[in-house]
Structure 1
Amino acid sequence: MTGPTSQEIYSAAQNMADASPSDRALMFDGLGGESWPADPEPAAYDEFDWTVRLYGLTARAPSQNAAIEKWVKSALTLHRDRKAARATDGRPDCPYNGSAPLPSVSTRVAEAA
């Protein structure tokens, strides 16, 4: 079984970035995200924070909304960290892939004889 592609992670992060905090939490849970609340009696420093995980990415913050927001920011830059960006604009799904646009349909081209 393979994991989600960079495009799927990027798309989910974009949708969550545009949503309100309550909708973002619902989207996160709907995609299979996991979250762990802060320990009510923390014994170590890392037990003060909420932890969220989705698509293999983990984020921590003092609240669940902040942790999901941190996850979204890291998911939006994941393809750059993996060097999977396909063009100068940095999106993983760029239609040009670094090449020039195609000429218009009315452009005459030479035919091989």
Structure 2
Amino acid sequence: MPPTPQEIYATAQNMAEASPITRALIFAGLGGEFWPADPKPATYDEFNWTVRLYGLTEQDTTQNAAIEKWVKSALRLHQDNRSARAADGRPDCPYNGAALLPPASTRVAEAT
């Protein structure tokens, strides 16, 4: 079963706060894949590192830069796929999925 957008977002938040070496270790520990730049590149894309985790793939000139790009795209993922229901766009909002307010005509008790 693939991870939910909330799990991807939480992973990206943890990685955003980590140091570059810790970020790479977290990435690898979660099953992330790395493809280094070709030592003798023949085309432009062979100059770049490629990283992939949870179906998101990013490229950049260094491993750290590629992981940083992955983190940024993972943080934007929940906004791009419109799966977040919170008004502020955060998937971890405590009001996600809250019941609707009762109609304005509902009578309530008043404190005296």
**TM surpasses 0.5:** yes
Shift of 1:88: 2.0
Q: Determine the C-alpha separation between the residues in 1 that align with 2:97 and 2:87.
A: 7
Q: Determine the C-alpha separation between the residues in 2 that align with 1:88 and 1:45.
A: 41
Matches within 5 A, 1:53-72: 53-72=52-71
Matches within 5 A, 1:1-113: 2-97=1-96
User: In structure 1, what residue type is equivalent to 2:61?
Assistant: P
User: In structure 1, what residue type is equivalent to 2:68?
Assistant: E
The secondary structure found in structure 2 opposite 1:39 is: coil
Kindly provide the CA deviation profile for residues 70-98 of structure 1, in whole angstroms up to 9, marking residues without a partner as x: 00000001011100122122111211127
Kindly provide the CA deviation profile for residues 50-87 of structure 1, in whole angstroms up to 9, marking residues without a partner as x: 00000000000000000000000000010111001221
Question: Any conservation in 2 of the 1:86–1:93 contact (CA below 8 Å)?
Answer: no
Q: What are the ranges of 5 or more consecutive residues in structure 1 without an aligned counterpart?
A: 103-108
TM-score w.r.t. the length of structure 2 is 0.84
1:105 aligns with none
Higher mean displacement: 24-33 or 80-89: 80-89
The secondary structure found in structure 2 opposite 1:77 is: helix
Q: Determine the C-alpha separation between the residues in 2 that align with 1:18 and 1:68.
A: 13
Identical aligned pairs, as a percentage?
75
Q: Runs (4+) of structure 1 moved beyond 4 Å?
A: none
How many residues end up aligned between the 2 structures?
102
Q: What are the ranges of 5 or more consecutive residues in structure 2 without an aligned counterpart?
A: 102-107
TM-score w.r.t. the length of structure 1 is 0.84
Question: Any conservation in 2 of the 1:13–1:75 contact (CA below 8 Å)?
Answer: yes
Kindly provide the CA deviation profile for residues 30-59 of structure 1, in whole angstroms up to 9, marking residues without a partner as x: 000000000001111100000000000000
